[in-house]
Structure 1
């Protein structure tokens, strides 16, 4: 892991994909004094990005004929935050899209790339998983993510991989996930979740500490059962309560502790039950 105690807020950071996470990160980085370039595939979003102090770029790596502005890649740090969509077609072409992005990043000799991946690269292995555990994806999206991680790690720039757990936060109310459903299996399996607040704060802390070049699992240290968590989340949101079968089938616990202890981060939301008592979902 590279470390640099003289990291400065004069850096330029390009965020490829200003969606749910990317836009929240961009706003926080602007507030902290960074120059932020943000991309979207939507022309309508350009004005929104500009109004937030983000330099807007209309980029699309899905369409062959699109000419993407190389100025976006003149940056100190590139954050790739474009997860593959759920469709099998998108998952099968995801690596090709990232290969186009990587080619432009290499042309501009970007020193640092942060790739937002997922703990879907791990299968249900009935054990605790750390960032040094061997990935064994059992879903198409997990396989696409792992393949892309390995490709980026083979290139000339320094790649940092953030494997996010299941994402919750604004617009992703977990109370809605199972509201009203009955006899849901695997009720005693532990949850592996991450709030948007920690997504953003973890990334900011990583940048400020210049703790680049390794793989991080990013997951709340709290792992209540599916039954306990989702029933309380639905109750808190005044939604129909789900019911779970009281059983433990396949499961995993993702450890969000950094492999390198020199990187310091304290999760903001480390007890979901207490947090839900005082916050709306």
Structure 2
């Protein structure tokens, strides 16, 4: 029987996942408040995760569920409505008799301050900001549901349509801490989508994975290299960002599962997006 997959909260990342699943022959249902029009092979569902009365559109026979909502505002009440209430609403509305696995897309924001040390799946979560705290609550809530589940904690996404950092570098609106340095972790959105599909279908799996590329970098190094890529000056010294903590994320568990990155270094990924060669060291 072909997989029947539901993507609950299907934004840009979810659409990339959907296209990969369609290429594998899956039957893909994608939930969004305002779905696009047109026949792209995806079965679009118009519903709101935070409004249970709209979720009567969920189909029967779903075998795999991906929960990857994208809140439209960085506010605690919005995050809670989407990630906590939304998770409960989906499970209340979904016929789970055929459900074999769920993948919950979380964030490395569940970790705290580690002063540049390495962090992996065994590191105790200690979120510094409301988004990390709510995502951690949702992870724990998921563990109470009787379903085989995986949590994927993603680092900062970049990729097509996600070039705000480049725009800010061009405009001279970026600074970076140099003393002490603050570590940055990234993953290309296409690698993130591929990792979701990989884990969704993985036979033997762990409960939690970190989704990050091979190359954590001091923020000043990443920003200076990207500035050189676009011909902008080095960024000035500035304060560390608040609420995310300095840490180096390890992707060893994800790679040990057989996953391979197309873009193991964000500088390579940005260069390809901008169609520019990396400046020589």
Secondary structure, in 3 states, of the residue corresponding to 2:252? coil
How far the C-alpha of 1:200 sits from its partner, in A, is 1.4
Structure 1: tracts of 5 or more residues without a match: 1-7
Q: CA RMSD in A?
A: 2.8
Does residue 1:91 correspond to 2:79, yes or no? yes
Deviations 1:90-125 (A, max 9, x none): 123331221111222365452211000000000122
- Deviation, 1:46, is 4.0
CA distance in 2, matches of 1:216, 1:27: 22
Aligned residues: 267
Report the equivalent of 2:133: 143
CA shift digits 1:209-245 (9 cap, x unpaired): 3344510011011012211212332443456753235
- CA deviation after TM superposition for structure 1 residue 59, in Å: 1.5
- Aligned: 1:60 with 2:48: yes
- Go from structure 1 to structure 2 and tell me whether the alpha carbon gap of 1:244 and 1:77 turns closer, same or farther (over 3 Å shift): same
Q: Deviations over 1:39-85 (max 9, x none)?
A: 1100xx2424xx221111111122354353131x5311000011444
Partner of 1:269: 263
Would you say the 8 A contact 2:168–2:174 is kept in 1? no
8 Å CA contact 2:177–2:219 kept in 1: the answer is no
Give distance in 2, aligned partners of 1:247 and 1:87: 21
Q: What's the TM-score, normalizing by structure 2?
A: 0.84
Aligned to 2:279: none
Partner of 1:216: 209
Cα deviation code 1:5-27 (max 9, x no counterpart):
xxx8x212111122110011101
CA distance in 2, matches of 1:171, 1:235: 21
Relative distance call for 1:35 and 1:136 in structure 2 (3 A) is: same
Unaligned residue ranges in structure 2 (runs of 5+): 276-281
